[in-house]
Chains A and B, each alone.
Chain A
Amino acid sequence: MSFKDIAQIAGSAMSAQTVRMNTVASNLANAGTAGTEDSAYRARKPVFASVFNGAGARVQVLDVINSDEPLNARHEPGHPMADDDGMVFYSNVSPVEEMTDMMASSRAFSTSVEVLSRVNGMQQELLKMGQN
């Protein structure tokens, strides 16, 4: 029966959005982290892909990649993390981008919850078929 598939589809979407929310939280937390050119924090981004199964399509998190946006380099010779040239590299997190990502992710999560509760209601009604 397709109701079980729907629960799996909505569940996969919810876990994918949770991964996305995790990366957003991590990115925002590290928005001001300093480091050297190699060790500086780079924004992490999840990559989603759909897995088709008959008529339905689940969501899968293929990978979490590091953003290749340029790092925020600043000349701060007094900084403990400064390299030989006195450069400090701050993370390449864009807080505005992360905030919009967070809103989109939260909206998508709510949609999945709504789908689940709707389908739950449909299934409950189906169970009561012929009883009233």
Chain B
Amino acid sequence: MGLNLEQALGVHPAALKLRAERTKILASNLANDSTPGYQARDMDFRASLRDAMHGHTQGLNSESDRTLYRVSSRASQDGNTVELGVEQAEFAQNAVDFQTSLTFLNMKLKGLATAINGNS
């Protein structure tokens, strides 16, 4: 009976990688807070994760296909659509979600370790 690590760890490795990618997009939004004409972007997380899970092997690499523009509630005069508060909240939430995925992954790994070592 072979052990398929990919199957054993479930959705979490893909989720972790997508969270890291999303961190990059949100960090870009925060970095371009004062760049005229910059349009805030975000990732369609659900669609990206579905792509990653359903055999679209290139899904993880073509993350830019799944980046969408954020609809800002009020446009600024210089065309910049970054709203600092919104982006900071999303960034913090994303960091916690990353931590959550990591915790799940650690629990899975611990479970596997227990299965391998036995209950000794």
Q: Is A93 an interface residue (CB 8 A)?
A: no
Specify which of B34, B64, B95 is in contact with A55 (CB 8 Å cutoff): B64
Specify which of A9, A58, A118, A126 is in contact with B102 (CB 8 Å cutoff): A126
Q: Is B23 an interface residue (CB 8 A)?
A: yes
Q: Are B23 and A119 in contact (CB under 8 A)?
A: yes
Q: Are A50 and B64 in contact (CB under 8 A)?
A: no
Q: Are A56 and B84 in contact (CB under 8 A)?
A: no
Chain B, interface size category, equals 20 to 34
Interface residues of A in 25-73 (CB under 8 A from B): 47-50, 54-59
Specify which of B20, B28, B30, B36 is in contact with A111 (CB 8 Å cutoff): B30
**Looking at chain B's contact residues, is the secondary structure mostly helix, strand, loop, or mixed?**
helix
Q: Are A13 and B30 in contact (CB under 8 A)?
A: yes
CB of A130, distance to nearest CB on chain B (Å): 5
Specify which of A48, A126, A129 is in contact with B34 (CB 8 Å cutoff): A48
Known contacts A55-B21, A115-B27; A132 and B106 CB within 8 A of each other: yes
Q: Is A1 an interface residue (CB 8 A)?
A: yes
The 8 A CB mask of B19-43 against A (1 = contact, 0 = none) is 0110111011011111110100101
Q: Are A57 and B38 in contact (CB under 8 A)?
A: yes
Count contacts on A: residues with CB < 8 A to the other chain.
39
Q: Is A108 an interface residue (CB 8 A)?
A: yes
Q: Are B64 and A54 in contact (CB under 8 A)?
A: yes
Q: Are B38 and A111 in contact (CB under 8 A)?
A: no
Report the separation of the CA atoms of residues A29 and B10 in the bound assembly, to the nearest whole angstrom. 60
Q: Is B114 an interface residue (CB 8 A)?
A: no
Q: Are B31 and A13 in contact (CB under 8 A)?
A: yes
A114 / chain B contacts, CB cutoff of 8 Å? 88
Interface residues of B in 95-120 (CB under 8 A from A): 95, 98-99, 102, 105-106, 109-110
CB of B34, distance to nearest CB on chain A (Å): 6
Q: Are A50 and B38 in contact (CB under 8 A)?
A: yes
Specify which of A20, A57, A118 is in contact with B31 (CB 8 Å cutoff): A57
15 A-B contact pairs sorted by A residue (CB < 8 Å): A2-B20, A3-B20, A6-B23, A13-B30, A50-B38, A55-B21, A59-B31, A108-B34, A118-B91, A118-B92, A122-B23, A122-B95, A122-B98, A129-B102, A129-B109
A6-B23, A13-B31, A20-B34 provided; 6 other pairs, C-beta below 8 A?
Answer: A5-B24, A48-B36, A56-B27, A114-B88, A118-B91, A129-B105
